[in-house]
Structure 1
Amino acid sequence: MGLEVESRPSDSPYVQRVWRSRSDDVGRMISVAAASWDLVFWEHGGQVSAAVQGPETKASPAPVPAHATFFGISFAVGASMPHLPMERLVDGNVPIPDATRRSFHLKGSTWRLPGYDDAEWFVRRLVREEILVLDPVVAAVLGGRPAGVSERTVQRRFVAATGLTRGAVRRIDRARRAAVLLRDGAPAQDVVHRLGYFDQPHLARSLSRYVGRTATQLADPAPPEPLSLLYRT
């Protein structure tokens, strides 16, 4: 069966995606670069675990425990938990203690474990308790709206809110968009022109770094290893 993944968008400005998955007969996947960060819960062998998975600046192989179930919230770029500085989360993760099927601990409090269908309830409480914030400057820039501040301030706010530069966020997002288009059957040359790559070698380098697959491999309906969550934005 491999790795079965289901996901949905969210109407919360703090959330990019809500997802869940289960693994069968797969030992490894390719974790695709992402400018967002995730709060992830998983159960394997009767043990429940939780962690904050930070932004990833390159594609990398990741082990997948067999016969495990996962649930995660991918937060919007620009959302952060100030008690967990984003620069320390890039290409890393922070375990969350005392997770059970019912609850876990976060910033000194016990929280009910959220689920796939009520993740927004949990996020609203995080916001209300001022544990989760959204940088309005980053949100405005990504939404194509005027930021109302200097470019230098924009760069500083991006690094503080995401752990990444504005350029890195843009490159990661473009590579992920390219991967989705190629996976859906778009010709590589069309993707080059549509997304503003210089040429096909430029696209190939971007895919290699951020997605870990070539254009040909992305078009393969039965790849040897699954990819982490990719979706059309």
Structure 2
Amino acid sequence: MGLDTQSRPSESPFIERVWRSRSSGVDRMAAIATANWDLVFCERRGRVEVFVQGPEPAAGPAPVPDGTAFFGITFALGTVMPHLPPGRLVDRGVEIPGATRASFPLKGSRWHLPGYGNAEEFVRRLVREDVLVRDPVVASALRGEPPGVSERTVQRRFVAATGLTRGTVRQIGRARQAAALLRDGLPAHEVVHRLGYFDQPHLARSLARFVGRTATELGVREPAVPLSLLYKT
């Protein structure tokens, strides 16, 4: 019962994570804030739907259709589809109409539906066809390398490539790390020290805004309302 979810990292510089899940006996989940966007495929009662789900800068409830199989590609920060930039998708999803069980339309062409095991090949094709690009300035900044441009330009490129400011991206990433550590049993005071929060109230405010759970609630293994995908970066 609930959401049965699997996920894996990827060696592709364009992909943050590949995931799949199935819902059973659940109609909603607690969506954790995320700075990334996803391409999501849903199959329910023989019907396939495809969505581009944008970044979500705060935690909140999200509906989950029962008896649905999901497959998704979470894209690395700085990766964009220029015809659907993340800035237009913050806090919203856009359906790509015309999907069948075999293919779906995207930027004037039809594409075979990818799967959990061949997401990287699918993304390589998107890159070859210029459907997908990655901003090198954002990529360099995320790796901690000198981007070769001014900080003002970095900030502008971050907003263009993610729909969010660089500061918000950092806060979301730190809160997600904190939630993963707390879920694994690390005491709150250790999380404060490890991730550079001022104190435990600062951590609590961050969790409330970006995760929607307290440190105590994150320790509950089978919550009544499941969390969206949470992983260690």
Q: Deviation per CA, 1:32-71, whole angstroms, max 9, x where unpaired? A: 1000000000011221101000000101101111111000
In the alignment, structure 1 residue 149 sits paired with structure 2 residue 141: no
In the alignment, structure 1 residue 64 sits paired with structure 2 residue 64: yes
In the alignment, structure 1 residue 82 sits paired with structure 2 residue 68: no
Equivalent residue runs for 1:65-144 within 5 Å: 65-144=65-144
Which stretch has the larger CA shift, 219-228 or 50-59? 219-228
Supply the AA of the counterpart residue of 1:187.
Answer: P
Partner of 1:40: 40
**What SS is found at the alignment partner of 1:41?**
strand
Measure, in 2, the Cα distance between the counterparts of 1:11 and 1:221: 30
Partner of 1:179: 179
Measure, in 2, the Cα distance between the counterparts of 1:179 and 1:77: 20
Partner of 1:212: 212
Per the TM alignment, residue 85 of structure 1 is displaced from its structure 2 partner at its CA by 2.2
Per the TM alignment, residue 27 of structure 1 is displaced from its structure 2 partner at its CA by 1.1
Per the TM alignment, residue 222 of structure 1 is displaced from its structure 2 partner at its CA by 1.7
Measure, in 2, the Cα distance between the counterparts of 1:61 and 1:76: 24
Supply the AA of the counterpart residue of 1:181.
Answer: L
Runs (4+) of structure 1 exceeding 6 A deviation are none
Which stretch has the larger CA shift, 138-147 or 178-187? 138-147
Partner of 1:27: 27
TM-score norm. by structure 1 comes to: 0.99
Per the TM alignment, residue 172 of structure 1 is displaced from its structure 2 partner at its CA by 0.4
Supply the AA of the counterpart residue of 1:19.
Answer: W
Per the TM alignment, residue 219 of structure 1 is displaced from its structure 2 partner at its CA by 0.6
Measure, in 2, the Cα distance between the counterparts of 1:156 and 1:27: 38
Which stretch has the larger CA shift, 222-231 or 11-20? 222-231
Supply the AA of the counterpart residue of 1:143.
Answer: R
Gaps of 5+ in 1: none
Q: Deviation per CA, 1:185-224, whole angstroms, max 9, x where unpaired? A: 0000110111111111111111011111000000111211
Measure, in 2, the Cα distance between the counterparts of 1:139 and 1:214: 32
Measure, in 2, the Cα distance between the counterparts of 1:64 and 1:33: 17
Which stretch has the larger CA shift, 80-89 or 9-18? 80-89
Query: Once superposed, what is the RMSD of the aligned Cα atoms?
Result: 0.7
**What SS is found at the alignment partner of 1:222?**
coil
Equivalenced residues, count: 233
Measure, in 2, the Cα distance between the counterparts of 1:32 and 1:66: 20
Per the TM alignment, residue 100 of structure 1 is displaced from its structure 2 partner at its CA by 1.3
Measure, in 2, the Cα distance between the counterparts of 1:93 and 1:27: 18
Measure, in 2, the Cα distance between the counterparts of 1:33 and 1:44: 26
Measure, in 2, the Cα distance between the counterparts of 1:2 and 1:36: 24
Per the TM alignment, residue 83 of structure 1 is displaced from its structure 2 partner at its CA by 0.5
Measure, in 1, the Cα distance between the counterparts of 2:134 and 2:195: 27
**What SS is found at the alignment partner of 1:147?**
coil
Percent identical residues: 69
Per the TM alignment, residue 93 of structure 1 is displaced from its structure 2 partner at its CA by 1.1
